[in-house]
Amino acid sequence: MAHDQKKSVLTEQQVAQPTSSKNTLTINDNRTGKQYEIPIENDTIRAMDLRQIKVKDDDFGMMTYDPAFMNTASCKSKITFIDGDKGILRYRGYPIEQLAEKGNYLETAYLIINGELPTKSQFEDWTDNIMKHTLIHENIKKFMDGFHYDAHPMGMLVSTVGALSTFYTDAKNIKDPATRRLQIYRLVGKMPTLAAFAFRHSVGRPYVYPDNDLSYAGNFLNMLWKMTEVKYKVNPVLERALDVLFILHADHEQNCSANAMRSVGSSHVDPYSATAAASAALYGPLHGGANAEVLYMLDEIGSKANIPAFIKTVKEGKGKLMGFGHRIYKNYDPRAKIIKQLADEVFEVTGRNPKLDIALELERIALEDEYFVKRKLYPNVDFYSGLIYQAMGFPVEMFPVLFAIGRTSGWVAQWEELLMDAEQKIARPRQVYLGHGTRDYIMMGKR
């Protein structure tokens, strides 16, 4: 069992019972012959406890070196649990499968942010407060207009969500719970509007204002696709599918963008600026951009007949099977399973995405191939999501934008948890300095 994958989310009850009554780690420093006993809490040692390990009294003390945080828990969290070996994902203890089947996105957002599922009246208040904040200031529209016609919608989203901080200057008051709550309503409420406006700008269509008679996902679809009709009719299957996709993307513990949200938020900046940073992290192809890569790959393969040759090139190290493999999941990504089922429902409405057959065959062949089996490479969330988005009419550039809408609830939950955590301070890693020692300045003419 890969303990390192679970450290950040283990609760006290879940930690394996020690075989001896002593919950400590003994370290022998072979440089000095000294021994240190370090407490273990939640299957973890505190890096600061290593600082006492020194050769000389005036040494700085021992640190850990962990590029990319491969084995470092940066926080204690009660939001999301992942067991990568078993393919388990839970928000606040609730399995993702149950939330996707029985819940809806705003209810899930409430759960993630508040810790419990809402009662009927709590849900109504919550929905009302979020939907009340879907409108954006008219000047934001002017910012949108300033972007070039082919600007990437994710670039527009990153910029405009950051710009919200200049409209809501009260947001700086991050220590006040009521102020924080208001910004959370605004952020969850306005992200779909910013996303839809960015899309409309990129296709040269007039902006459609929010319609709060519609659901969260339905309103988003209306803002995207409404043309000259008086009332756009939202397709209930697509509305539900999008809502489920938002649920599946709502949080994923300390991923790259959540870490950006926490790291930037730890400076006590307003949440719009921190969300802009998190969105920027998500923009990267290694994070929110992989589902687009899957589509490019399926295009390149072209037909089922070409799959064996493609797999051969992957095994020769000439490229990756995009949408396969995950840093945490060494089993089928539970989100990918749900998306695969959802695809059938969506394709009944939109018509089958012809790339699905290639994807299904690719998955079948890869899951039987020793290369992938040995390395525990399974489909991840991105393997099928792009096929659905494309069938629904979204251009590839919108894929990370859709991800950002769903993930906003996770980002703000992570941000608030950080602010409430008395142990947290401004995020400031250490480094191992390997550069020059001190040296004297040389005048330019003498270099």
Q: Which residues are catalytic?
A: 287, 326, 382
Half-sphere exposure at residue 22, Cβ-oriented, CA atoms within 13 angstroms: 5
In the complex, least distance from residue 260 CB atom to ligand ACO, rounded to whole angstroms: 14
Residue nearest to ligand ACO (CB): 325
Q: Give the DSSP letter of residue 29.
A: E
Closer to ligand ACO at the Cβ: 201 or 335? 335
What number of H helices and E strands is found in the chain? Answer: 17, 5
DSSP character string of 110-137 = HHHHHSS---HHHHHHHHHHHHHT----
Closer to ligand ACO at the Cβ: 314 or 398? 314
Binding ligand ACO (rule: CB under 6 A), the pick from 86, 320, 364, 430 is 320
Q: CB–CB of 211/135 below 8 Å? A: no
Please state, in angstroms and rounded to a whole number, the distance separating the CA atoms of residues 352 and 340: 13
Closer to ligand ACO at the Cβ: 112 or 258? 258
Closer to ligand ACO at the Cβ: 382 or 416? 382
Using the contact rule CB under 6 A, the part of the chain among 33-41, 111-119, 125-133, 319-327 near ligand ACO is 319-327
Binding to ligand ACO (CB under 6 A) within 259-288 occurs at: 287
Binding to ligand ACO (CB under 6 A) within 365-424 occurs at: 375, 377, 380-382
Binding ligand ACO (rule: CB under 6 A), the pick from 103, 162, 210, 323 is 323
For 307, counting Cβ atoms within 10 Å of its Cβ (0-12 exposed, 13-18 middle, 19+ buried), the class is middle
Rule CB under 6 A: say whether 326 interacts with ligand ACO.
yes
Rule CB under 6 A: say whether 322 interacts with ligand ACO.
yes
Binding ligand ACO (rule: CB under 6 A), the pick from 73, 234, 321, 336 is 321
Q: How far is CA 125 from the centre of its chain?
A: 26
Angle at CA 90, nearest 5°, toward 87 and 95? 85
**Site size with ligand ACO, rule: CB under 6 A:** 16
Closer to ligand ACO at the Cβ: 131 or 292? 292
- Strand, helix or coil for residue 265: helix
Among 298, 352, 351, smallest CA distance to 322 is for 298
Contact set with ligand ACO (CB under 6 A): 287, 290, 314, 320-327, 375, 377, 380-382
